[in-house]
Every structure is written in C-alpha cells, then in structure tokens.
Chain A
Amino acid sequence: MNTAVVVFPGSNCDQDVMHAVAETLGTKVRAVWHRETALPADTDLVILPGGFSFGDYLRCGAMAARSPIMKAVAAHGKRGGLLLGICNGFQILTESELLPGALLPNRTLDFICRPCFLRVENVSNPFTANFSKGQCVQFPIAHGDGLYTLPESELKTLEERGGVVFRYCSPDGQAEDESNPNGSANNIAGIVNEGGNILGLMPHPERASDPLLGGADGRVFWRSLFDAYRKGGR
C-alpha cells in the first residue's frame, strides 16, 4: 500500500502521520507538495494531514481546497481511491465538497487539546473494518474549529445511510452532550462518503499509535486500511 501525504504550507501533522503509518505498517509513505499537479502514479491512499494550512486564515481549509494538487486528490477520491482527512484535512475535505457539511468554531470558541473517547459506529468501510461496531476507542483532539454541522435534512440522510463513523462519547460509550467536546451535531467526530472510500475525522489517530505516547488504538485504524487494501479493496 503506497501512501501519499499532501503537505500544504502550514500543515504541521504531515510528518506525524507519515511516521505513524510507516511505523505501524512498514509501508511506503511519501510527502507530496501542494503545488504538484499529480499524485505519484502508484498511490493507493492519500492523506490530508492536520495543521494550519495557510495559517487557517480566511477560513480553515478554504485555501488549501484550492491548491493545485487538490484536482488530482479529488479525482483519486472520485475513482474510489482511499482518501483520508484528519483535523485540518477533514476541513479541507468539506471545503472541497468531497464530504458533506462544515466545521465551525468549537462552541466554547477555544482551541481544545485532550484525549477523547470515540464510539465506532460503522465498521463496514476500509478505515474501521478491524474495530467492532460500538467499540469505544481513544484518539486525542486538537482543534479550534471542530463543530461539525450540516442542514437538518442532510444530517438525517447522513445518519440513515450510516455515514457517521465516529461519535464522541463517554468512557463507557454513551454519546451524551457532556462528552461532546466541541458541540458537533449528534456528537459527530468523523464521517465517510457514500462510496466508503473518503473519510474525514477531527480526532488524530496518528497521535494514538504508540503506547509510549499514551495509546495505540490508532494502530488498529491503520491496520484496517492495510488489511482492506490487501483484500484488494481499492
């Protein structure tokens, strides 16, 4: 499985996600500068990393969504290729309309960094196939604009088709308001497109990929992708 991590000016989790993927899977991971117009030919998985692309000026992810590389990224996703956006990468995916909805400032209006519990709601996609449905995992969050929102009717459609993959929850798996760190609709932390190949999430699986740093649930996430790929998924 060949992974390409797109680097925008201001990305700051690009090296982290490259490290986590390479350490967990031992596969090839390459950085691709945002001004490129094509992905390496043999790319299987594209990751839009976290950080502050273009300083989060204007609106988080808005400028990155218009970077030259994004045409190739969108084409990869539309072809059914694996595409993952983490944190700022998720914001770029919604700004690019590759995923529905938008990410607004947290309801406290403050940046929040802390470990979060997430309930895995959908395991019939390559990103979470190795988890069990309803499983509670821990990934940290670190964002100022993570309040996921979309119009009521679309939210209903998203829920009905099982598009919600991760939901913020309490340590015992209850998705109540108290465990919603940013005010996201229905405690949504991550969603997948209808094709099941484009996933965006605010929490950082790469920060939960080493027991030394406080957690390894992220490894299951990377392993899922790898196993799905090996089964000839995409």
Chain B
Amino acid sequence: MDFRKAGLRETEYEEIKRVLGREPNECELRIMGVMWSEHCSYKSTKHLLKLFPNEGERVVLGPGENAGIVDLGEGLGAAFKVESHNHPSAVAPYQGAATGVGGIIRDILALGARPVASLDGLFFGDPERARTRTLASGIVHGVGGYGNAVGVPTVGGKTVYDPCYNENPLLNAFCIGLIPLDEIVSSRTARPGQAVVLLGSKTGRDGIAGAAFASVELSEDNKASRPSIQIGDPFAEKLLIEACLEMKEKKLIVSMQDMGAAGIISSSSEVAAKSGVGMILHFDKVPLRAENMEPWEIALSESQERMLLIVDRPRLSEVMKIAEKWELDCAEFGETVEGDEYTILFHGERAASLPATLIGDRCPQIHWPSRRPADLEARWTFDVEDIPLPQDWNEALLSLLSSPSLASKESIYEHYDSMVQLNTVVGPGHPVNMLRIKGRDSLIAMTLDADPWKCSLDPFRGGAETVARSVRDLAVSGARAAGLTDCLNFPSPEVPEQYWVLEECVKGMAEACAAFNCPVVSGNVSLYNESPEGAILPTPVVGTVGIVPSTDATLSSGSWEEGDVLFLVGPCNPSLGGSRYLLSQGRLEGRPLPFSPEAEKDFVERALKTASSKAAHSGRAISGGGLAAALAKESMESGVGAAAAVPVPTRKDVFLFGEGGARALYAVPMSRVPLFKTLWSGYPCIPVGRAGGDSLSVEGAFSLPVAKLLTKWRGR
C-alpha cells in the first residue's frame, strides 16, 4: 500500500520507517495514517497552542487530558471542553451533530465526571437558502435528539449565520461535568499486568477513518463518504454514563479513555503512551456487529458509545456485573505490559506492532509558511463619513434585530431539554447560562462566544475580543472567569494567508487570556473548513466558565423596572468596523477596536462589585449590535420600555450601533444611583435614559413599541 493513500506525507513515512527500522505493514500504515492526521495529531497547531496560558490558581487539569478541570472549591471540580464535529455535520447533519454531542459527553465522562450541561455552537449559512435550512434543521434536531435522550440539558449556546458557512456549517459541542477532585480518573495511571476492557456498543464499520476525513477539505468527491459518518445511539450512551459512574463509585476503574476519533487505536495507544506501558490487544475478542472485519478496520472504527477501561484483574468480575446490569457489552480484549510495545494480535497472528509513544506523540510537526494578507490594511481604511446616517431609524433598528445572527434563537433552543437534572438557574436565551450546584450556594456560569467577522478583519484584535466578550459577559452576571476551552475552526493552514490569520487569532486570544488570568484548560482544532464555494471566516470559539460565590451575588439581565436609571459604562466611541450594523448592510469592513488590558481588567472588577453589591436591577455587557441592541434586548426581556438620549457628540449611529471595548448597560434603581456611581467612578460612566412605559425610544433616533420589537426579533 502506498503511504500517500494512507494519508501520510513523505517525511512522515520516512520517520515511521526510521523509528521502526523496517517498512510498516498495511495495517500499521493505515493506523499511522489516521493517527498522524491533522485531526488526531494537531501537527499544524501544536506549537501555536503552546502560546495559550494554561496555568492558574483554579486549574486542576490543563490541556492534554480528555478535558480540563477547574477547582470549584470545597473539593469539587468542573470538567469541561468544547469540540468540533464540523465535517460530519456537513455531510450528515443529524448524525454528525448527534455524535458530536455524544462524543464530548464521553470526553467529560472519561475523567469520571457526571456530565451536567451542554452548550452548542452553531454556524450556519445564509438562512434564505434551502440548503442552509436543511443543514440547520438536521443539526439542531441532532443536538436535541441526542442531548434530550441522554439526559444532559442543553442550557445555551451561540448561533451565527454567514454565507461563508453555506456548504461548511460548524457544530461545536461544549460539555461540562462535575467531579469530586479526589475521584478524577486519569488516562496516565495504567500499570503493567492490568486488563484492557472495552465497554459499550459493538464495533462496526461505521466511521472508519473519520479523523482522516476531517483533515481534508470538503469536496464533491468526499461528500459521498457516508461510511465515514458515525451513527449515534443516545440510549446506549445513557447506559454507558450510568455504568461508568457506578464503576467509578466502586473504584473499579484504574484508567479510562473514551473512544472518539480513531476508536480503539487512539484510546488504547494514548493510555499506553501516557501511562508508560505497552499493550497486547487481541482483536478477535472485540465484540463486532459487522462480519469479516479486518484488524485495521477494528482498530480505526469510530462506532459510538464505547469506552476503554483499564481494570485490575481481581476486580474484573465486578466490572462485568455492572455492565450486565446496564445491559452493555463488556469484553476483556488485552493487557498492559512492561515497555513501550503496542501489539495487535488477530487470531494469534501479529497484525501490528508499534511503539506506543510513536503512535500518538511523535508525529513530525508542520510549520506552514505564513503571510500577512495583502489586502488587510485596505479593509481598515474605510471612512465613517462614507456611511450615511439611517434615513429611517426605526427601520434600521428593526432590521438589525431581525438579522439572523441577532434575532431570537427561541425556535432553536425550545427543541432542547434545557432543564433536566434540575440545575438550570439561567437557561437559553441569556448572555450567560448558570447552573446551581446542589447543596451549595455557589453557581457555575458559562458562555459560548465567537466573532468570526472581527477575526477576519483583524485576527489579533478579533481573537482578543472573542475572549474578552465572554469574560465581560460573565463579570456583568457576577461570575469571575476561572478558565476557558477553545475550538479553533479555520480553513486550510496550507494557504499562507490563512495560516497567518490562524496564528494572529491565537496570539490575540492568548493575550486576552493572560490579561484576564483566564487560562485555556482544554480545546480542539478543526482545520480544512472549506468547500468548493470557499473558505469559512476564521472562527475561534471560546467556552468560558466562571464561578459566582453565592446566588446573592448574581445580576440578571432583562430585569428593568419602571423608573430605573440606565447607565452606559465604558467608552462612547466604539467602532462600526466589523459591527453587526454594517454587516446587516452587507459591509464587512473597518477595523475592530484594540484590546486594552488595563481597561478590561478594571471593567471586570467593577462589574463583579456591581453584581455582588446589588447596585443594579439588570445588566448586560454590550456586544453584537452595540448599545442599540443591548437596549432593545433588555427592554424586550423586561417587558418595559425606555426613553434614552445620545448625551455625547459622537455620531449617533456609531454611538448606538458601534461595537468593541469593555462596555455594559445597567439599569439602576434611583436609590442605588449614588452607590453605582461610586463603584464606577474613574471609569467612563454616563446616564443615557430612564426605563419605563411601553416604548423604547432614543431621542433623535428610533421610537418603537416594545411589542413591535418583540414581534420582529422573534420573527413569528
């Protein structure tokens, strides 16, 4: 077999030969082809990911494990991660999305954590296109169909529409779980002489080499790759969750790894390499659901709902008993041994024999050439004077609110069970989602964020802004960010300009993470997101998790009361560059504002104090759609109007629709105005109006009944 057919580059093939001291056989070649694919090896981005800060006072487990863990205090941890399932969702939207949700849940489970909530990041094309509607409907139903049945609530997410996702939609699934810190299960703790056990569904031909499929561009050719798509079974996953957690409770599991991309080979070689042991696996003992499967097919199958367990032999019978209770297949199919040799036997024959550390760790890294796009500056030099003020302000606001990315997502999230497990304090439809921790007063807050437009205009600033807005959202709600997980969705790194954008985004994100002391604890990279129609916009997604010390210290959004004074905190000169307002006019241009670490940090501390001292009734960080969208959303959610004005000489459209910078809109009861002003003294803070009545108006701009805003925003 030609190494190129296995997906290997020549240098990679040479490296394998050098380490082995011989030619790899076909099974080994196929295994290495998948394990050294971009999806499994991170060969193009490993060195970039090192730029992210990943240490912090709350970090218990950082990158390199199935998920990151942050300390919630009193011996409890939150395990979380976001992962892409873009290529499968483009080809088979329902199953692609469903198995994306299932996969990330198993990542959390692999640490021994109970998955308690999911968020979904959805990036769809032009909603007017029939194809987008088909893809979007399939993906949304897949997320719900799996999440609802498996009993993990989908409590929020992010939905973005842009034509760049027409043929290459993105599905990023985030999951968070809870785990007592002294019960964390590691993939590094196997010792020689232990049993290697496969728990869960039978292994079939579904999803063979899916990881390799995710490492090339989508083409008409590989859209026919349906056998690469895995089929999800949330019922089996629910049983798997309960069985694994029961085994963990009884301390039966030495080490555990979920089977995602590259199935058995990836999970077992990872445990072997990280634990510093070898393995002998008998593939004829793997429960199969297809006939005549070859060893390489068994190795690479991505059949869903399977876990790899390492178990001390004397406790095997207890493991089998729990598996039997939950009616799951459970087979001992190998053992751990001294050394580094990873051997696959099939009916007594040696099918493959490789050093465990070679498989996952030693793929040669690739440093793609990087080139700053020549047209970058040209897109920044737009003159705001070229943008006419709206002729009809009411229409301008309504069309902004009904633009797909800003409009209500109720028609999506009402298909998700957002409440099961009884922890959802703030569910979908809010900037931040919150979970209670039963028996405690503290809350977990989380948010999923992305701004592909700003990232495309200025990748460094856009990357920083993506992190910053998630941290601001949390701070306004009363939560201090403890850590984040990221999913880097980008097109091919082989185009120098695209690689430069990836680099700059990562640098921007890293700078913001460092400034906020918000480490990256886990993440995922998805490259080659392009189709014959073109490449996607750079789309780094962050899932940021924060902690609110007590339920008293939260500040809700959308809870204006009649007579509240509305304050704008933050600079009055935002940018129309990359704003939703300009985008809704079909203009992706201008330059986003730079990231100002000092102002951002100052904002966070003040926002946290504002929430904990109950200085406001309601607060919302200003992001997409600017102050105007913040006013409208607060007003609609509260069911209360407002009369506001533009009290500064800034151009009215820039003031109302501009974006960027650490800004928020607060509704403050008259009696708390002095306290509020004290908290924000020394930071830009101006009153912009009063809440009350049935209409939202800004002097000299729009004036609309709240009911009308709602109708347009909800689009129904």
Write the residues of chain A forming the contact surface with B, with a CB cutoff of 8 angstroms: 9-10, 12-13, 15-16, 19-20, 33, 51-52, 54-57, 110-114, 140, 142, 144, 204, 206-207, 210, 212-213
- Of B269-277, B414-422, B529-537, B655-663, the segment with at least 4 beta carbons within 8 Å of chain A is B414-422
Q: How far is the CA of A212 from the CA of B418 in the complex (A)?
A: 15
Q: How far is the CA of A9 from the CA of B237 in the complex (A)?
A: 11
Cβ of B523 within 8 Å of any chain A Cβ, yes or no, is no
- Which residues of chain B are near A51, meaning CB under 8 Å? 151
Tell whether, in the assembled complex, residue A142 and residue B419 are in contact, meaning their CB atoms are under 8 Å apart: yes
Cβ of B25 within 8 Å of any chain A Cβ, yes or no, is no
Q: How far is the CA of A137 from the CA of B424 in the complex (A)?
A: 20
Most buried by A among B326, B414, B436: B414
- Which residues of chain A are near B107, meaning CB under 8 Å? none
Cβ of B234 within 8 Å of any chain A Cβ, yes or no, is yes
Tell whether, in the assembled complex, residue B425 and residue A213 are in contact, meaning their CB atoms are under 8 Å apart: yes
Q: Contacts A10-B149, A142-B148 given: A113-B416 contact, CB under 8 Å? A: yes
Tell whether, in the assembled complex, residue B425 and residue A142 are in contact, meaning their CB atoms are under 8 Å apart: no
Tell whether, in the assembled complex, residue A142 and residue B420 are in contact, meaning their CB atoms are under 8 Å apart: yes
- Which residues of chain A are near B368, meaning CB under 8 Å? none
Contact pattern, B 395-425, Cβ under 8 Å of A = 1, otherwise 0:
0000000000000000000111111111111
CB distance from A26 to the nearest CB of B (A): 15
Q: How far is the CA of A83 from the CA of B177 in the complex (A)?
A: 33
**Nearest-CB residue, chain B, relative to A54:** B235
Which of B149, B327, B415, B421 is A113 in contact with, Cβ under 8 Å?
Answer: B415
Q: Contacts A12-B151, A52-B149, A212-B551 given: A206-B235 contact, CB under 8 Å? A: no
Tell whether, in the assembled complex, residue A111 and residue B415 are in contact, meaning their CB atoms are under 8 Å apart: yes
Cβ of B144 within 8 Å of any chain A Cβ, yes or no, is yes
Number of interface residues of B (CB under 8 A): 31
Tell whether, in the assembled complex, residue B424 and residue A52 are in contact, meaning their CB atoms are under 8 Å apart: no
Tell whether, in the assembled complex, residue A111 and residue B238 are in contact, meaning their CB atoms are under 8 Å apart: no
Cβ of B233 within 8 Å of any chain A Cβ, yes or no, is yes
Tell whether, in the assembled complex, residue B151 and residue A113 are in contact, meaning their CB atoms are under 8 Å apart: no
- Which residues of chain A are near B415, meaning CB under 8 Å? 110-113
Tell whether, in the assembled complex, residue A210 and residue B417 are in contact, meaning their CB atoms are under 8 Å apart: no
Cβ of B345 within 8 Å of any chain A Cβ, yes or no, is no
Tell whether, in the assembled complex, residue B235 and residue A9 are in contact, meaning their CB atoms are under 8 Å apart: yes
Q: How far is the CA of A123 from the CA of B325 in the complex (A)?
A: 41
Tell whether, in the assembled complex, residue A52 and residue B419 are in contact, meaning their CB atoms are under 8 Å apart: no
CB distance from B152 to the nearest CB of A (A): 9
**Nearest-CB residue, chain B, relative to A181:** B414
Which of B141, B149, B417 is A55 in contact with, Cβ under 8 Å?
Answer: B149
30 contacts between A and B (CB under 8 A): A9-B238, A12-B149, A12-B151, A12-B238, A12-B420, A16-B421, A16-B422, A33-B325, A52-B148, A52-B149, A52-B151, A52-B235, A52-B238, A54-B235, A55-B149, A55-B233, A55-B235, A110-B141, A111-B144, A111-B148, A111-B417, A113-B414, A113-B415, A113-B417, A142-B420, A144-B148, A204-B419, A207-B422, A213-B419, A213-B436
Tell whether, in the assembled complex, residue B417 and residue A19 are in contact, meaning their CB atoms are under 8 Å apart: no
Tell whether, in the assembled complex, residue B421 and residue A15 are in contact, meaning their CB atoms are under 8 Å apart: yes
Most buried by B among A33, A57, A114, A140: A114
Most buried by A among B417, B438, B551: B417
CB distance from B113 to the nearest CB of A (A): 16
Q: How far is the CA of A140 from the CA of B424 in the complex (A)?
A: 13
What 12 additional pairs, Cβ within 8 angstroms, besides A16-B421, A142-B420?
A: A9-B238, A10-B149, A10-B239, A16-B420, A16-B422, A55-B233, A111-B415, A112-B415, A113-B148, A113-B418, A142-B148, A142-B419
Q: How far is the CA of A16 from the CA of B417 in the complex (A)?
A: 14
Q: How far is the CA of A181 from the CA of B416 in the complex (A)?
A: 15
Tell whether, in the assembled complex, residue B422 and residue A213 are in contact, meaning their CB atoms are under 8 Å apart: yes
CB distance from A14 to the nearest CB of B (A): 9
Cβ of B696 within 8 Å of any chain A Cβ, yes or no, is no
CB distance from A39 to the nearest CB of B (A): 19
**Nearest-CB residue, chain A, relative to B436:** A212
Cβ of B484 within 8 Å of any chain A Cβ, yes or no, is no
- Which residues of chain A are near B326, meaning CB under 8 Å? 9
Cβ of B150 within 8 Å of any chain A Cβ, yes or no, is yes
Q: B196-247: which residues lie under 8 A (CB-CB) from chain A?
A: 233-236, 238-239
Q: How far is the CA of A10 from the CA of B149 in the complex (A)?
A: 8
Tell whether, in the assembled complex, residue B422 and residue A210 are in contact, meaning their CB atoms are under 8 Å apart: yes
Most buried by B among A15, A57, A111, A140: A111
CB distance from A203 to the nearest CB of B (A): 11
Contact pattern, B 144-166, Cβ under 8 Å of A = 1, otherwise 0:
11001111000000000000000
**Nearest-CB residue, chain B, relative to A56:** B149
Q: How far is the CA of A110 from the CA of B417 in the complex (A)?
A: 12
Tell whether, in the assembled complex, residue B419 and residue A57 are in contact, meaning their CB atoms are under 8 Å apart: no
Q: Contacts A55-B235, A110-B415, A114-B414 given: A13-B420 contact, CB under 8 Å? A: yes
Q: How far is the CA of A112 from the CA of B144 in the complex (A)?
A: 10
Which of B239, B419, B436 is A9 in contact with, Cβ under 8 Å?
Answer: B239
Which secondary structure characterizes the binding site on chain A? Answer: mixed
CB distance from B437 to the nearest CB of A (A): 11
- Which residues of chain B are near A9, meaning CB under 8 Å? 235, 238-239, 326-327
Q: How far is the CA of A56 from the CA of B145 in the complex (A)?
A: 11
Tell whether, in the assembled complex, residue A12 and residue B418 are in contact, meaning their CB atoms are under 8 Å apart: no
CB distance from B330 to the nearest CB of A (A): 15
- Which residues of chain A are near B150, meaning CB under 8 Å? 12
Q: Contacts A12-B238, A140-B419 given: A213-B424 contact, CB under 8 Å? A: yes
- Which residues of chain B are near A110, meaning CB under 8 Å? 141, 415
**Nearest-CB residue, chain B, relative to A19:** B422
- Which residues of chain A are near B425, meaning CB under 8 Å? 212-213
- Which residues of chain B are near A112, meaning CB under 8 Å? 414-415
- Which residues of chain B are near A212, meaning CB under 8 Å? 425, 436, 551
CB distance from A199 to the nearest CB of B (A): 21
Q: How far is the CA of A57 from the CA of B239 in the complex (A)?
A: 14
- Which residues of chain B are near A16, meaning CB under 8 Å? 420-422
**Nearest-CB residue, chain B, relative to A50:** B420
Q: B301-334: which residues lie under 8 A (CB-CB) from chain A?
A: 325-327
- Which residues of chain A are near B141, meaning CB under 8 Å? 110
CB distance from A80 to the nearest CB of B (A): 30
Q: Contacts A110-B415, A111-B148, A212-B436 given: A10-B421 contact, CB under 8 Å? A: no
CB distance from B445 to the nearest CB of A (A): 14
Most buried by B among A10, A12, A19, A144: A12
Q: How far is the CA of A8 from the CA of B149 in the complex (A)?
A: 13
Most buried by B among A33, A55, A113, A213: A113
**Nearest-CB residue, chain B, relative to A15:** B421
CB distance from A116 to the nearest CB of B (A): 11
**Nearest-CB residue, chain A, relative to B416:** A113
Q: B491-540: which residues lie under 8 A (CB-CB) from chain A?
A: none
- Which residues of chain A are near B421, meaning CB under 8 Å? 15-16
**Nearest-CB residue, chain A, relative to B151:** A12
**Nearest-CB residue, chain B, relative to A142:** B417
CB distance from A5 to the nearest CB of B (A): 14
- Which residues of chain A are near B235, meaning CB under 8 Å? 9-10, 52, 54-57
CB distance from A34 to the nearest CB of B (A): 11
**Nearest-CB residue, chain A, relative to B147:** A111
- Which residues of chain A are near B438, meaning CB under 8 Å? 19
Q: How far is the CA of A54 from the CA of B239 in the complex (A)?
A: 10
Q: How far is the CA of A144 from the CA of B239 in the complex (A)?
A: 21
CB distance from B137 to the nearest CB of A (A): 10
Q: B422-476: which residues lie under 8 A (CB-CB) from chain A?
A: 422-425, 436, 438
**Nearest-CB residue, chain A, relative to B420:** A12
Q: How far is the CA of A160 from the CA of B150 in the complex (A)?
A: 39
CB distance from A214 to the nearest CB of B (A): 8
Q: How far is the CA of A91 from the CA of B411 in the complex (A)?
A: 26
Most buried by A among B420, B425, B438: B420
CB distance from B677 to the nearest CB of A (A): 31
CB distance from B187 to the nearest CB of A (A): 27
Q: Contacts A52-B149, A55-B149, A212-B551 given: A113-B419 contact, CB under 8 Å? A: yes
CB distance from A104 to the nearest CB of B (A): 18
- Which residues of chain A are near B551, meaning CB under 8 Å? 212
Q: Contacts A111-B144, A206-B422, A212-B551 given: A10-B238 contact, CB under 8 Å? A: yes
